[in-house]
Structure 1
């Protein structure tokens, strides 16, 4: 396994570096990435920035705002968080299998004294039932990355000020607030490690992943970027992660909305227009995960009569779970139709 530690503290640079390496890394061995950033908020690919984030508070405190390529929910990071990702051959991993992907991280945390640690059914690492890591996946051509957070020493009091968590999601977790659902890793480590800075904790994780006592021992495994690499990464920031059109998104007007939290799938919202009883335009928002581009599904549903039988027929050749992980075709139709019945 090769690795790369990012030196930038700007989430836009770090996400661009991750994306760049996913495209340009050609070795057969997996690639492990680690990065730390200044206070920022990252929303999932399918989320609405205006709904998920308290923009007034975020702008007042000068947080960096961006959107990632993967699905999932909104995340607050600061210098007490370590982000990580594994870039692998997508044919050697299963999309949505977070337990296998984060197992090396979980094993290292156990070695460092953390007890009662587990991976939940969807995409979180939990300690004593509280979230310390959220993860998401993304595929492109023959590569897949799984990236996530590690809440080491984050200012958790900031979460309620910046993130607007849906009532449906809170109800599904049987909790009153997002702050009551998360915790930091630091207090659960053996006392030997509780005095480590975030950078020292990052290095300790890396040494234990490679089973060495000194990072110098794995220097040949480090990916070093050159001037050309950095120029292309800077362009990615300009085109995507720092581009307001991408970050804030463009949402067409809609006349109908369906919204629900579906266990094992996540929060799903459909916004659509009907014209002469047919779906004229449809868009999907939420913190779900997907393997295939949603634009293909949107185009497929356009001009289909808004009726159960018509929708079922139109989706016969479509595997809905590729667009919404763990969602079946019938579940999507039930979600879209709701209590509507014209058949």
Structure 2
């Protein structure tokens, strides 16, 4: 059973901060399914970890796409589909590829202080594999650098990423229990034609939902199994009852609140990427239009060139002016198009703007 901690988390940290040599193991659950909050919580735990602490953090996210630190969201995702369906975009600090997550995923984080511990990735994987084997009779194994796979054809059910600083080492990833695979196809891997980028591409592997190996598996039971395996591995330590962190804690901890604002901010999610060029062309009944957009690291449209054989030159020029300097997101594109629509007079021009808006949004 997962028990809520009996007294405030800060008091718990202070109580054990005087213990210098003996490792203090903590098991922490998030009651939130918001990806930005959970990433912020993970960062806050990393920044406040004590020299003798070893943390297991278990969490789960509602529909979202998470990209790696150096990835280009326009290259990795169908951003307009995500926006329409309420799928959040998040950027983590660690590397790796883009992943889709929903409530069919279980996320884990192993976090240790660099002062007295070393992050043992193989031991962490053993904890996860032992949990699956002992509680669900699922026999997985390590494959490659950071994947856990199942069956003779090595179908992937878990991927990991790592982060190392002078203060802490972090190993986090996800276990796929019952993810919507159709959603993965819907939101990931856009058409990369004419999209030139220096970012990191995602490598899509064959995946398997763990419920295909055991239909009884679910997030709650899997977390309890991982907790049990973790306690068995570190049986020589007195590990307190699991702590539960809720979103209400956000307002009471300034550092956590600051991290949440960062991860939810569009500048971080869209702007922390490499420069890229997006070029596309389409022929409409009223003419052909070609658009070339260059965006720098801030995710803004720094250069916009529009070529068309349309007779409405002023409309094309106004659209170009309204797009320049805007964030390259569906919301900003829509506003720029609607601003242009309000500036033209003829119904033909308004229809053309509607066509262009729908077309551009489909590209990103």
TM-score (norm 1): 0.61
**Correspondences of 1:47-86 after superposition (within 5 Å):** 47-86=71-110
1:208–1:116 CA distance, 2 compared to 1 (3 A): closer
Q: CA deviation at 1:11?
A: 0.5
Q: Distance in 2 between matches of 1:116 and 1:201?
A: 14
Q: Deviations over 1:168-195 (max 9, x none)?
A: xxxxxxxxx94x7001112323xxxx43
1:119–1:26 CA distance, 2 compared to 1 (3 A): same
* 1:32–1:84 Cα contact (<8 Å) kept: yes
Q: Distance in 1 between matches of 2:191 and 2:122?
A: 26
* 2:55–2:110 Cα contact (<8 Å) kept: yes
Q: CA deviation at 1:61?
A: 1.1
- From 17, 28, 34, the equivalent of 2:52 is 28
Q: Deviations over 1:137-160 (max 9, x none)?
A: 112222011000011111122111
1:106 equivalenced with 2:126 (yes/no): no
Q: Distance in 1 between matches of 2:130 and 2:163?
A: 23
Please give the root-mean-square deviation of Cα atoms over the aligned residues, in Å: 3.0
Q: CA deviation at 1:249?
A: 2.1
Larger radius of gyration: 2
Q: Report the secondary structure of 2:53's partner residue.
A: coil
1:252–1:24 CA distance, 2 compared to 1 (3 A): closer
Q: Distance in 2 between matches of 1:250 and 1:142?
A: 23
Q: Deviations over 1:270-318 (max 9, x none)?
A: xxxxxxxxxxxx99xxxxxxxxxxxxxxxxxxxxxxxxxxxxxxxxxxx
1:199 equivalenced with 2:223 (yes/no): no
1:160 equivalenced with 2:185 (yes/no): yes
Q: Distance in 1 between matches of 2:172 and 2:212?
A: 23
**Correspondences of 1:295-310 after superposition (within 5 Å):** none
- From 50, 61, 84, the equivalent of 1:37 is 61
Q: Distance in 2 between matches of 1:3 and 1:110?
A: 21
Tell me what 1:119 maps to.
Answer: 142
* 2:64–2:87 Cα contact (<8 Å) kept: yes
Tell me what 2:169 maps to.
Answer: 144
Q: Distance in 2 between matches of 1:51 and 1:253?
A: 12
1:134 equivalenced with 2:159 (yes/no): yes
- More deviation, 72-81/113-122: 113-122
Give structure 2 stretches of 5+ with no counterpart.
Answer: 1-24, 193-202, 278-295, 298-364
Q: Distance in 2 between matches of 1:15 and 1:137?
A: 14
Q: How many residues are paired up?
A: 236
Tell me what 1:89 maps to.
Answer: 113
1:181 equivalenced with 2:206 (yes/no): yes
Q: Distance in 2 between matches of 1:165 and 1:183?
A: 22
**Correspondences of 1:254-293 after superposition (within 5 Å):** none
Give structure 1 stretches of 5+ with no counterpart.
Answer: 168-176, 256-281, 284-343
Tell me what 2:347 maps to.
Answer: none
